[in-house]
Structure 1
Amino acid sequence: MEKVILIIEDDQMIQRLLSRMIKRSGFAGQTEIFDNSEEVFTFVRQSEDQIVLALMDTSIHPNGDAALAQELLKLCPEINLVASSGHSEEDLRGPQHFGGIDLVAVLSKPFGMQDVKDLLVSLNLI
């Protein structure tokens, strides 16, 4: 069974860049890119056992960031949730974004190759 990392991001340039960085870091699985929450939820319902990580931009779900994270956790309780944003880590962990949801990490934009690799190493994905 191949492991899957979800990239939930509305900027196509960042989607491609992040996917390439993940692969070049040595991740042997696949990346799946989504720019809206409904497509993510459909995919997760079909593939929940394979998903190991969700890299989530902010403002993707119409009901807010916390709603996106809660639904992902409901569908796939073992998923690692990481916020990827230009907002500060304090803001992302606060009530206006992920509302106290237990994010395993924050990948702050702009990020580099080493940031992505360090994240994957910390989660034992490479």
Structure 2
Amino acid sequence: MTWTDEEIKQLEAASTIQNKPFGPDKATFTEDNPVWEVVVDGRLYIRGGNGTASRWYVNGTKNGSHIRLGNQEYAVDYRAVSDPAEVQAVTDAYQAKYHGQYPIDMMVEDRAAQATVELVKR
């Protein structure tokens, strides 16, 4: 599935979304944390400040996730991003959206950039 135009507008306007990756049983959420998110070319991205060792990154890439935006919850798959141009576009979007906010410096460093994922709506 793809994100609707209305959902993209809401995501672009949001400061954070709630990220709820599944554990190994794929039924129980291991976390429920706010994360920064960006939209690039109609696609939704998040990244882990602690890199690919982030617990939510590990669980989400293996088991999927739900995210919550306002009162709406969406089932999503994580698609790890490795294309350098796509990673750079996400870095640029993070810098534009969160410029001057803490911890933007950490979120645009290589370690976080390596943990860039696209959230693909199911």
| TM-score > 0.5, shorter chain as reference | no
Q: Which protein has the bigger strand share?
A: 2
Structure 2 length-normalised TM: 0.25
Higher relative contact order (CA closer than 8 Å, sequence separation 6+): 2
